[in-house]
Chain A
Amino acid sequence: MDKHYKIVCNLILGAALVTTGMGSALAQDKVKVGLMLPYTGTFAALGNNITNGFKQYVEENGGKLAGREVQYVVVDDESNPARATEIARRLVTRDKVDVLIGSVHSGVALAAARVAANTKTLMIVPNAGANEITGAQCSPYVFRSSFSAWQPSYAMGEALAKRGVKNVVTLAWKYSFGTESVEGFTEGFTKGGGKIVKDMSLPFPNVEFQPFLTEIAALKPDAVFVFFAGAGAAKFVSDYAAAGLKGSIPLYGPGFLSEDVAAMGGAGEGLQTTLHYADGLNTERDNAFRTAYAAAYKAQPDVYAVQGYDAAQMYHAGLKAANGDPGKLDAVIDGIRAATIDSPRGSFTLSKAHNPVQDIYLREVKDGKNAVVEVVSAGLEDPARGCSM
């Protein structure tokens, strides 16, 4: 009787141990990835490509990161900064995501980064380039897989000064990203001995450029540096050529200027821009990535897909360092910090402020592609001004 009682007790205890053990194994089984990206509106295509890139890396690892299955919580942030805090909070507190991936729009990313820093949640920014994210507002919990606005523009400034260009007119949309791009360019260019003849700007997203083109023609600088993106970039490049300036005054800018080459007709051909990715890198890593991406999504990858892919790589590196436990956040963070990311763009590490230390390419538009010309700045690190980390 006594013996029988003991056996039953042991059985119950054993069963309890097994079930609780199983329970915790189930709970830890999956890592929860919150994708907070634009899936509607102007930046919808960017959000989709980042998502595709992220998922591609996970698929290449058999649908797992560090042995754990990945569960996605996907939210459309509509590129609306006014809703960003609320959406980020919901992902963190209600959905309890292990990592927050977002976003494209800098205003949205800054608001979400504030939530991540306050709630001690890991966040990887797969695009937004505002310097602040890994500058004045830097946080141990926030990483970036893309770039800072400063990086490509500074590299362009340096490169033009090195070429012996003396006088440049700058023109950009007057919002943070435009201003930061021009500041980065001016820093690199004047350091090399160049002079900014005139710094012009117009409100975002105004696209009536004709008065500025007239002004540029009157000033006759050696070159023009501009920041525009999306439809505005396509329009500016077309207008610049139509005004007859293309042949006489070379135009330069960060890579967003030549994104929509197809929409520019022939006006984009020969345009030189700087960015952390280019077409035709022709490295084994990039070729493998592009082939796999094209097979999976029936489309060519772009810089956004690369940034999404690398965000997944960064998180993977962190998880591996924490033996697959997303709860060991300090280990995850240290893991990402120490990692060398084998990116299609070329491998990079992360700076103290958590921004990629990476090569910047000079690219030239040839047959509708942003073909690589050379690396103009190798291992360029953002100065992370205002960051005390």
Chain B
Amino acid sequence: MDFASFLIQVLNSLQYGLLLFLVASGLTLVFGIMGIINLAHGSFYMIGAYLAFVLTSATGSLVLAIALGIPLALIFGALLEWALFSHLYKRDHLEQVLLTYGLILIFEQLRSLLVGDDVHGVAIPAFLDASIQLTEVMSYPVYRLAISVVCIVLAVALYYVIQRTRLGMMIRAGNDDRSMVEALGININMIYRVVFALGVALAALAGMLAAPISSVFPNMGSHVLIISFVIVVIGGIGSVWGALVAALIVGFADTFGKVLLPEISGMIVYLVMAVVLLWRPEGILKKG
């Protein structure tokens, strides 16, 4: 591998890792703060991608589709929390797994009824539909770089909200001791609803952003669900910062694994997870 290729692979790793972070951040919030194992998280990614497809077809613009899609995802998340998830906090993990697995099946069936089983493409917005020439044969799509920028902005914003705002303080306090927070007169149910809606919106946004480069297809959520759980576990459950570090580690391991160790590229991410867990069983940054 020459130096130019190496640099491009680094770029690939960063870009992939940042997109993974966007999906995993919502999962780690819901899992860590609310204690809910949400297998349907991948479905929210799928729903986001299909929203991008449907709304882009209707409005003619992906930017507009995202602007409409985020509030829709937030409302959808809040409604789901109110109708279903709010009954699960005191139940054990098995019941959560059953409910959220059932949701995967329901969402996929609804998707099949409403949009069908075809593969769809989503057009890249015209102002981002360009490439930067990197070597004489290889160029890099500007849209991929734009996604990375959006992911970085969101990572900083999430960090700020959770570490520096009153809401973030309440969320962290609720994570540490739910009953004490309630005793202090804070409406913990409302906090949970906000966190859940935020988690759904983050996954849906990841789906919307990824739609133009990954295309939109049935069961696309299950592809990202497993890797998201790996990231959450490596990073430390509930730690947004940990999810970022873990997502980047996974991005690098996957990219360079494919090129340097193709024979074991399918398991390299899981090897990394095993090593990290041996070294730090709680994840890299437990409760960052």
Interface residues, chain A, with chain B CB atoms under 8 Å away: 40-42, 44-45, 174, 200-203, 205-208, 210-215, 217-218, 220, 230-231, 234-235, 238-239, 242-245, 248-249, 260, 262-265
Contact = CB atoms under 8 A, between A and B. Distances in A.
Contacts of B213: 235, 238-239, 242
B185 interface: no
Interface of B: 1-2, 4-5, 8-9, 12, 15-16, 112, 117-121, 123, 131, 133, 135, 137-141, 143-144, 213-220, 223, 254-256, 258-259, 262, 265-266
A55 B9 CA distance: 51
A292 to B, nearest CB: 23
B251 to A, nearest CB: 9
Contacts of A248: 137
A263 B215 contact: yes
A110 to B, nearest CB: 22
B215 A217 contact: no
Given A203-B265, A214-B5, A218-B1, A41 B219 contact: yes
A211 B117 contact: no
Contact of A211 (B9, B214, B217, B266): B9
29 contacts: A44-B112, A45-B118, A200-B262, A202-B258, A203-B265, A203-B266, A206-B223, A208-B16, A210-B144, A211-B254, A211-B255, A211-B256, A214-B8, A214-B12, A217-B135, A218-B1, A218-B138, A230-B119, A231-B217, A234-B119, A238-B215, A242-B144, A243-B138, A243-B140, A243-B141, A245-B137, A248-B137, A263-B120, A264-B121
B9 A234 contact: no
Nearest to A242: B141
A197 to B, nearest CB: 14
B268 to A, nearest CB: 10
B266 to A, nearest CB: 4
Given A214-B8, A239-B213, A244-B138, A265 B121 contact: yes
Contacts of B141: 242-243
Given A211-B255, A213-B138, A235-B213, 20 more contacts: A174-B266, A200-B258, A200-B262, A201-B262, A202-B258, A202-B262, A203-B265, A205-B223, A208-B254, A211-B256, A217-B135, A218-B135, A234-B121, A242-B144, A243-B141, A244-B131, A244-B133, A248-B137, A260-B118, A262-B121
A216 to B, nearest CB: 8
A198 B212 CA distance: 29
A244 B5 contact: no
Contacts of A174: 266
A239 B144 CA distance: 11
Contacts of A44: 112, 117
A39 B133 CA distance: 45
Nearest to B254: A208
A235 B218 contact: no
A248 B139 CA distance: 11
A230 B217 contact: yes
Contacts of B254: 208, 211
A108 B217 CA distance: 22
A174 B1 CA distance: 23
Q: What 6 A-B pairs are tightest by C-beta distance, nearest first?
A: A244-B139, A231-B217, A217-B138, A203-B266, A263-B121, A210-B12
Contact of B131 (A214, A242, A265): A242
A41 B5 CA distance: 38
A234 B119 CA distance: 8
A277 B262 CA distance: 34
A234 B215 contact: yes
Nearest to B2: A218
A207 B137 contact: no
Nearest to B8: A214
A248 B138 CA distance: 9
A138 B214 CA distance: 38
Contact of A210 (B15, B112, B218, B265): B15
Contact of A202 (B2, B123, B214, B265): B265
Contact of A235 (B12, B135, B214): B214
A288 B8 CA distance: 52
Given A243-B140, A245-B137, A211 B15 contact: no
Contacts of A207: 214, 223
Contacts of B1: 218
A230 B214 CA distance: 12
A184 B119 CA distance: 27
A198 B73 CA distance: 44
Given A211-B255, A244-B133, A263-B121, A235 B223 contact: no
